[in-house]
Amino acid sequence: MALKYLGSALLIVLWTGVGPVSAQTATTELDVTVGHSTDQVEAASSQVRIFGDAIAGWRYYFEGTWAQTWGPTSDAFGSAYPYDKRVHPMEMYGEKTSQFGPYVAGVRVGRYRTPFGIYSRTDHAYNGLLRAPLIRYGAYWALSNNFLEGGASVIAGVPRLFAEASLGVPQDEDLHSRRHGLDRVVRVQGAVGSIIVGASHIRTLPSEARAFARGRAEFTGVDVRWMHEGVQLRGEWIDGRPFNGTRTFGGYVDAFVHRPVMGPVTAVLRAERLDYLAGRASSFPRRYIAGARIRLSTMLVGQVNAVHEYGYRGRLANSALDLAFTFSTRH
């Protein structure tokens, strides 16, 4: 816990060190989202972000969130933030990225989303898909989009092929937060033409109590993105164990289609699976989502998802319609 607010401390240091001739900048963003799902879930959330340039090429980033759902337990709207009626600090870090001839190197220090696979906030938050991938939702025995690291991450390589390594401790903002201990994450990313491929590995501690979950959690994943003429395909496949004696594997494929003729509409599709192997507790959920993100104005986006899912242990197949509106402003 001592490192929980390392990010804020770093930001204060960077901020107070800013001199009158520095390249200091500050951008503030506010997002407010309201949503309704036919799963009898209502949701409201807000996020505040402050980011910009600090000194000597360093940049800072801070994000806080508050979100709440009303209704039965559901993963609806939980794509990138915890919906638990509390204010959470999310990412708080300073970073510097430099290029030396053909080489790129960077360091990020503070509190940041676990750099595993497709992990950045904007990869998942209100991008048209209103639920986190099964393999990235904390309750489903794998990773969570709300996993955060407190520590340092470095990247090194050339822009089209670099490695990222993170060493820190878990600082998750998730109902299924990991136990404390040392976290190691490594990731390699390469880009060839329009294809971007990554491979990641994490060795961390389980989310469950020590008496129930022995050993370490360990996952390996591959991720691919491809984009051409307004069509983006992306996906991840993750395999590993949340703790000894179990195995979780699965993945998802997303499509985002935004052709000129579609104007403000981006069509979104997702197909995904997750297999949790734990004897009688095993579960094999499958989910398919079709929907759209519609830019209603420069500050208002509507999102609608038709969801069909089945295969959860002890639950019937379910179909739902999720609807959300996100108001965003930036200063």
Partner 1 sequence: MRRASIATVYLAAAVAGSSPAVLASSGADIQGVAQVGGKPQANVVVWVDVPGALTRADSKPVLDQRNFDFNPRVLAVQVGSVVEFPNHDRVFHNVFSFHDGKKFDLGLYPTGTMKLVTFDKPGLSRIFCNIHPHMVAYVMAVASPYFAVSDEAGRFTIRDVPPGNHPYQAWRSGGSTIGGTASSNSETVLAVRWP
Write out the residues near partner 1 by the rule CB under 8 A: 25, 27, 29, 51-53, 59, 95, 97, 99, 104, 106, 108, 120, 122-123, 127, 155, 158-160, 162, 189, 191, 194, 196, 225, 227-230, 232, 256, 258, 260, 263, 266, 295, 298, 301, 328, 330
Min dist CB 291 to partner 1, Å, is 16
- In the chain, the N- to C-terminal Cα span, in Å, equals 33
Min dist CB 196 to partner 1, Å, is 6
C-beta of 40 vs 194, nearer to partner 1: 194
Name the phi and psi angles at 168, rounded to 5. Answer: -170, -160
Residue with tokens 């390699």: 188
Min dist CB 161 to partner 1, Å, is 9
DSSP track, 238-251? EEEESSTT-EEEEE
C-beta of 92 vs 205, nearer to partner 1: 92
C-beta of 77 vs 140, nearer to partner 1: 77
Q: Please answer whether residues 129 and 305 qualify as being in contact, where contact means their C-beta atoms are separated by less than 8 angstroms.
A: yes
Q: Which residues contact 182 (CB under 8 A, 6 or more apart)?
A: 167, 168, 169
139 by Cβ neighbours in 10 Å (0-12 / 13-18 / 19+) ranks as middle
Min dist CB 217 to partner 1, Å, is 25
Residue with tokens 């759209």: 292
Q: Which residues contact 2 (CB under 8 A, 6 or more apart)?
A: none
C-beta of 108 vs 241, nearer to partner 1: 108
Min dist CB 39 to partner 1, Å, is 26
C-beta of 116 vs 140, nearer to partner 1: 116
